[in-house]
Amino acid sequence: MFARTVEAAGYGYIIPPMFEDLDVFLRLGEATEVVTKEMYDFHDKGGRHVALRPEQTASVCRAFVEHRPTTPWKVWYAGPNFRYEKPQQGRYRQFDQVGVEALGVDDPLIDAEVIGLAVKFYADLGLRKVQLAINSLGDQGDREKFAQKLASFFSANENKLTPDSRATLARNPLRVLDSKRQADQEVISAAPTILDSISSSSRKHFEAVLQALDALNVRYEINNRLVRGLDYYRRTTFEFTSTALEAAHTAIGGGGRYDGLVEALGGPSTAGIGFALGLDRTLLACDAENVFDAPNTAVDVFVVDTVGGLSAHEISHQLRDNGISADRAYDARSMKAQMKAADRSGAKIALIIGPEELENTTIILRPMSSGDQYAIARKDLISEINKALKTK
Ligand code: HAM
């Protein structure tokens, strides 16, 4: 579904490698937790310092620098990522994401296109309780000015911050805004906002993005405290949360602009924007909203074999080859145990092969709902099963 949505908008599939040179991920910002605490990095046999990817944007940018495709370069990806976290509901050490990245376009209309794709994906899944928060962090200069303002504000109020936030302040003052701790909220609510530092060109860009989202009827909430966890963001940043999730981790996806990341990886000055949606949390949200029916793992036919040999084996394969799902019992268990297994399997029909049947080249067909069993000729197996399945 994701592939269909994004390929219809001109995004091509890319498979970033599962691990990269550590340096690629250090560009996520040496103060970000993903880098300081959560990286699975190690030295390989050749002494190279490598890391399992904690996300895929940096790899996409590295690939861009290496291969220099023509711009706009619009790609999508899917696959696992690794972060050394304390595992809990919705926060895993291995988790899956789908995402898109668009490189080489500064136009605010692409910001809205990218966000619109995520909105469409969630809506197509059937999710209704998804909220979009959006902010602009300004350009590089704005962001630095803002970080300085925040640093002096939080330093002046340090005694009112929790010890955890004080530690964050020393590393990255912007991230203090992300604290969900109740004790920090009073100080955070009085902190300066990015709006005080944002340049007029960044402001214009942001307004154009909002206007383009309005044109798509995308609903959003402007949140000037949204900074997000990765350091590469500039200007547009956004996050999707599910109000159906009660756990601490309600963010089901997020993204933004990372103009400057390609340059940091040794490429030419290139604009970039994208998002990644966390599939594990998205599925939790689907469960919470009852979006999917319980998966039906029942097979059509269960083969009960009381004689051993290859009959049950051959019959099971013949059924599957003819598009009829089939399971069977193994290890020549008792008839009673096999009938129990047939019952548990949820199969509509049990096929029973006994010594008499084998001799007469017949098989007993028992519809599980009625139990009114009858013999069928071995050669008519497929047509008889199809007939019986249709009368169900
Ligand atoms: P992120 O916010 O770090 O952004 O991750 C995106 C989503 O991945 C989160 O909203 C969450 O749903 C999911 N996620 C992150 N960590 C975990 C975890 N430990 N367990 C389960 N789910 C998790 C990025 O990764 C950026 N690369 C997004 C991006 C693309 N920005 C621009 N382009």
Is 129 or 294 the better-scoring residue by pLDDT?
A: 129
pLDDT band at residue 117, thresholds of 50, 70 and 90?
A: very high
Worst-scoring range by mean pLDDT, 1-15, 268-282, 366-380? 366-380
pLDDT band at residue 31, thresholds of 50, 70 and 90?
A: confident
Does pLDDT of 358 surpass 90?
no
Instruction: Tell me, in angstroms, the distance from the centre of ligand 1 to residue 252's CA.
Output: 8
Closest atom of ligand 1 relative to the 91 alpha carbon: 20
Does pLDDT of 224 surpass 80?
yes
Nearest protein CA to atom 13 of ligand 1, as residue: 278
**What was the pLDDT predicted at 392?**
58
Torsion angle in degrees (nearest 10) through CA of 348, 354, 360, 364? -20
- To test ligand 1's pocket by mutation, which of 55, 178, 245 has the most ligand atoms within 8 angstroms of CB? 55
Model confidence over 132-178: pLDDT tens digits? Answer: 999 999 998 898 888 899 999 999 999 999 998 998 888 888 888 88
Instruction: Tell me, in angstroms, the distance from the centre of ligand 1 to residue 57's CA.
Output: 10
Does pLDDT of 248 surpass 90?
no
**What was the pLDDT predicted at 354?**
87
**What was the pLDDT predicted at 230?**
86
Question: What are the tokens at 234?
Answer: 């500039």
3-class SS string, 19-71? EEEHHHHHCCCCCCHHHHCCCCEEECCCCCEEEECCCCHHHHHHHHHHHCCCC
The DSSP result for 205-272, as a single string, is HHHHHHHHHHHTT---EE-TT---S-TT-EEEEEEEEETT--SS--EEEEEEE-TTHHHHTT-----E
Closest atom of ligand 1 relative to the 34 alpha carbon: 3
CA angle 286, 13, 234 (to 5 degrees): 75
Nearest protein CA to atom 11 of ligand 1, as residue: 278
pLDDT band at residue 265, thresholds of 50, 70 and 90?
A: very high
The winner for highest mean pLDDT among 129-133, 176-180, 307-311 is 129-133
Going by C-alpha positions, the residue among 131, 76, 67, 125 that lies closest to residue 101 is 76
Query: Who lines ligand 1 at CB under 6 A?
Result: 55, 57, 83, 85, 91-92, 95, 97, 99, 101, 229-230, 251-256, 258, 274-276, 278, 280-281
**What was the pLDDT predicted at 37?**
84
**What is the mean predicted confidence (pLDDT) over 3-7?**
97
- To test ligand 1's pocket by mutation, which of 281, 282, 286 has the most ligand atoms within 8 angstroms of CB? 281
Closest atom of ligand 1 relative to the 228 alpha carbon: 2
Nearest protein CA to atom 17 of ligand 1, as residue: 91
Does pLDDT of 15 surpass 70?
yes
Percent of the chain with pLDDT over 70: 99
Alpha carbon distance 51, 45 (integer Å):
13
- To test ligand 1's pocket by mutation, which of 230, 235, 283 has the most ligand atoms within 8 angstroms of CB? 230
Instruction: Tell me, in angstroms, the distance from the centre of ligand 1 to residue 233's CA.
Output: 13
Nearest protein CA to atom 10 of ligand 1, as residue: 253
Nearest protein CA to atom 31 of ligand 1, as residue: 255
